[in-house]
Amino acid sequence: MALSKRLSSCLKYTQGFTRLADIGTDHALLPIAAIEQGYVLSAIAIDNKIGPFGIAYNNIKNSKFENRIKVLLGDGLEKIDDDVDVVVISGMGGNLVANILLEHSLRNVKRVILQPNSDSDLVREILSDIGYYIVDEIIINEKNKLYDLIVIEPGIMEYTNLQKIFGPINLKEKSHFFVIRIETEIKRLEELLQQVPSSERTIAIKARIMLLEEALK
């Protein structure tokens, strides 16, 4: 089965590591592809719900890699072992991704690939608490929806509020899709300003527009 652009982008960052844990694996397409491509030597596919666990189990059984990918029913990072050096957490809301990172230790993990579907600021907010910092950030466009991808590794970096909201590397590189995302939100808010009567809400909208304009500087 072909990987989506979003999952292929996560996959690329697993290359060269030894043991992958895919948290919230669902169909297990990502760990199967990582083994198939020779990016990692072994993998654990983890999901906390029985339905996705069963789908992952069947897909792995039908792949040629049953002996190299273990499927586990478990919550977040609780079942990773000391040999796991790379983790992917993708396709969930930022709040859930942040909670998963806070709830259990990353043990010996040298790289985590995070792809929150929303609220990526909540993920950046907790990075110093878990002792990881951002080494790369990209915005993926899939079927006209923009997704954040954040790659973290062990280390401490203090971020400003603006960097936590928009991403330090996004702010520096100002990629095409980053600019599109910001400009689209500014346009939407400016249209909204025309419709809402002057109130506390307009103050909040204007403050957000100023923040967005700051991000484009």
Ligand X SMILES: C[S@@+](CC[C@H](N)C(=O)[O-])C[C@H]1O[C@@H](n2cnc3c(N)ncnc32)[C@H](O)[C@@H]1O
CB atoms within 10 A of CB 203: 10
Does 14 sit near ligand X (CB under 6 A)?
no
Give me the residues paired with residue 86 across strands.
20, 111
Report the residue number, 92 or 138, with the smaller CB distance to ligand X. Answer: 92
Distance CA 56, CA 46 (A): 9
Q: Per-residue x/- marks for ligand X, 156-185, CB under 6 A? A: ------------------------------
Q: Which residues contact 140 (CB under 8 A, 6 or more apart)?
A: 5, 6, 9, 115, 146, 147, 148, 149, 177
In the numeric block, which tokens belong to residue 55? Answer: 């789908």
Q: Per-residue x/- marks for ligand X, 93-112, CB under 6 A? A: ---x---x------------
Question: Shortest Cβ distance from residue 174 to ligand X (Å)?
Answer: 26
Question: Shortest Cβ distance from residue 99 to ligand X (Å)?
Answer: 7
Does 7 sit near ligand X (CB under 6 A)?
yes
Q: Per-residue x/- marks for ligand X, 31-60, CB under 6 A? A: ---------------xxxx--x--------
Alpha-carbon distances of 162 from 124, 169, 184, rounded to whole Å:
11, 11, 18
Please report, as ranges, the residues that interact with ligand X according to CB under 6 A.
Answer: 7, 23-26, 46-49, 52, 75-76, 90-92, 96, 100
